[in-house]
Amino acid sequence: MSHEYAVELRDIDKVFHTRHFFTRDEDDNRRRIYHKKTVHAVDHVDLAVKPGEVFGLLGRNGAGKTTSVKMMSGLIKPDSGEVFVDGMEVESNRLKILRKVGVVLEGTRTCIWPLTPLENLAYFGNLRDVRGSVLRTRAEGLLEFIGLKDKMNVQVRRLSRGQKQKLAICIALITDPQVILLDEPTTGLDVQSSRSIKDKVTEMARNQGKCAVVTTHDMSVAQELCTRIAIIDAGKVVTCKPTDELLDVFREQRYEFRLDRTPDVAPLKAIPGVNNVEPLNGQEEPGLLVTYPADQELRSAALYSTIQHLSKEGLVLRSVSQLQQTLENVFLQMTSDKKASL
């Protein structure tokens, strides 16, 4: 890829209008608009993904992930703003974009059911100028890697849901695209297939300098696969950071104390700098989960005072550990109704 960014969304906005015709006027028996609703699916979003990146788009149901992916592939037009793929404006270069971008959308019937997987790959390959021995070798290679080779001559309608999903991924890869857009690619797949897809995406990005944009609700997939993550909520980008940095945001805040008995939490909560104290019950050893502020000085002082207090109360401190942050925790904190700010 010749440009700095493989995919770029510049100030993209998309509003959907839905209308339901539910009532009839009793006098003239004509249908009336009963309900009109406007959804701001994507609200002035700016995103830029570089070649070699696996970029994750996370967000709650209805956050605007699929709509963003559809706009990146030119499937729907934004109301305002511009979309670029490898420096080309998508709207005015649709044919070229078709060859550069492979897209798998959630739960859609991309493949043709009366045809076999091999015929599907031949059909979609031909549409995008992939033919002859290149097509055959690539198709068989893809079916092999995804574990569908034994079904390559079976009609798609006889395949399971997961097998159809695997074929949709192969179809997206048949042009050997520069950019691959995967909308919930591992949903419904078995562990092995999910693994192969993650490995393939990582290999494409790391070794071939391609770019992948992945949406998922599976935080472990995002944490493992994505080099950078954007969290979107109600069509707006809440945060966009490298995965490591995102995990670091709340990392230093939670400490687990293991003790010989559970102390009274009220005096601990009163220590300046202690944000929260929760007793850890129902586990092998009694303990406490204490939350400190992100500020290092405040946190150190509060941590010191906590330990002093525990010692003064005659408690035996068995261990103190800093809790490893998971993407799931970060995601929940960023998208809770009372959002944490970054």
Ligand X SMILES: Nc1ncnc2c1ncn2[C@@H]1O[C@H](COP(=O)(O)OP(=O)(O)OP(=O)(O)O)[C@@H](O)[C@H]1O
Residue 37 phi/psi, 5-degree rounding, is: -130, 145
Select the span of 1-9, 62-70, 260-268, 300-308 touching ligand X (CB under 6 A): 62-70
Answer for which of 11, 16, 19, 295 binds ligand X (CB under 6 A) is 16
Answer for which of 47, 50, 56, 59 binds ligand X (CB under 6 A) is 59
Rounded CA gap, 196 and 186, in Å? 10
Q: Does residue 66 bind Mg ion (CB under 5 A)?
A: yes
Answer for which of 58, 63, 171, 189 binds ligand X (CB under 6 A) is 63
Report the alpha-carbon angle 97-200-185, nearest 5. Answer: 70
Rounded CA gap, 185 and 173, in Å? 13
Task: Answer with the entry of Mg ion, ligand X, none that 59 interacts with (C-beta below 5 to 8 A by kind).
Answer: ligand X
Answer for which of 45, 50, 53, 65 binds ligand X (CB under 6 A) is 65
Pairing mode, strands 7-20 and 179-183: unpaired
Q: Does residue 67 bind ligand X (CB under 6 A)?
A: yes
**DSSP one-letter string for 208-226:** H--EEEEE-S-HHHHHHH-
Based on the number of CB atoms within 10 Å of its own CB, is 297 exposed (0-12), middle (13-18) or buried (19 or more)?
A: exposed
- C-beta of 301: minimal distance to ligand X in Å? 42
Q: Which residue has 């019937």 as its token pair?
A: 109
Task: Answer with the entry of Mg ion, ligand X, none that 87 interacts with (C-beta below 5 to 8 A by kind).
Answer: none
Query: Quick one: which of 38, 13, 47 has its CA closest to 228?
Result: 47
Select the span of 58-66, 166-174, 304-312, 327-335 touching ligand X (CB under 6 A): 58-66
Interface size with Mg ion, residues (CB under 5 A): 2
Structure token digits, residue 265: 């939490």
- C-beta of 339: minimal distance to Mg ion in Å? 21
Select the span of 63-71, 254-262, 303-311, 328-336 touching ligand X (CB under 6 A): 63-71
Query: Quick one: which of 4, 37, 49, 310 has its CA closest to 205?
Result: 49
Chain centre to alpha carbon of residue 314 = 47
Q: Does residue 38 bind ligand X (CB under 6 A)?
A: no
Select the span of 57-65, 116-124, 194-202, 275-283 touching ligand X (CB under 6 A): 57-65
Smaller CB distance to ligand X: residue 62 or 87? Answer: 62
Answer for which of 18, 281, 283, 341 binds ligand X (CB under 6 A) is 18
**DSSP one-letter string for 154-166:** S-GGGS-HHHHHH
Beta strands in 97-205 (DSSP E): 101-104, 179-183
Residue numbers of the site for ligand X (CB under 6 A)?
16, 18, 39, 41, 59, 61-67, 106
Residue numbers of the site for Mg ion (CB under 5 A)?
65-66
